[in-house]
Structure 1
Amino acid sequence: MTARRQRMDLYWGSVVTPMGGALLVGSRQGIQRLWFEDTAQGVTLAGCQRADGRAQAVFASLMSEPATTVEQFDVQGTAFQRQVWQALLEIPLGMTTTYQVIADAIDRPKAVRAVANAIGANPIAYFIPCHRVVRSDGGLGGYRWGVERKRAILDWERDRVSRAA
């Protein structure tokens, strides 16, 4: 399949999340990217077909039944990045963990910095839950979409879990 053909198979749409508006880009294989609208400056969607309804349906489906494997997404990454992203998907809703715990989980205990870089390369806000990783001292650490948003997502998830209990 040519790059032009692959690009034409992509769709995008606006979705409303508990943390504000977002742009979702996907293909037949799954979501490729999710940006919060206020951080999407410079995003190029040329060649992607607008499909708000499709994007909203995919978003709603993942909100009700979260992904459990990286293969459910159409994300590009190295084998190491995909391994880290898979470990993120295993962090329970409403819980946090540290970069070191993720490094240990993938049997790379000395690769904490590389794990942090892989987490930072996550192209899908919220659904690959990089926001659930915090510093070893309990601090929130960085977040591609802003530390305040990270705090808001974690608070929202904890509230969701406590209401379900």
Structure 2
Amino acid sequence: MSHERTFEQDLERLYLDHHGWLQNWLRRRLGEAADAEDLAQDTFVRVMRNRTALRELRQPLAYLATIANGLLVNRWRRQAVERAYTEALAARPEMLEPSPEERLALIETLVEIDELLHGLSPRIRQIFLLSQLDGLTYPQIASQLELSVDQVQKAMAKAFAACYANRFE
């Protein structure tokens, strides 16, 4: 019997044994059955991509909950980005409103940036956003956050290094 077939059988068993539990677990957190079903399916897709040796799992429910929780956090972060973007759009004149295609592309880009920045410390993220979104100079940021210009420069160097690594490595 090939390894591939064994993985497929183990995945099927994991799905049959725990899909209902996972869906209920997600429903309690989301309050909606359709969203819970979608995230449960996404969780099992992630399991398939991870290719973890499923037979060796000692706590399959904890494994599934960890993956599903990560997906939930990503979902909530995306929703927060979308809400912030929608609020920013509402403040713009209607004639400047982007098309639905442009809006989707912008949201996707914002979510990608959010995920990148999420890996930074809160202070570095704040400094980066003040510089890149608000257009503040390093001295202005330093004054606002009661830091030295050198601290702001070092934080920006870390943020730019993370952006570079994400783009080119």
Question: Does TM, scored on the shorter chain, surpass 0.5?
Answer: no
Higher strand share: 1
The structure number with the bigger radius of gyration is 2
TM-score (norm 1): 0.28
TM-score (norm 2): 0.28
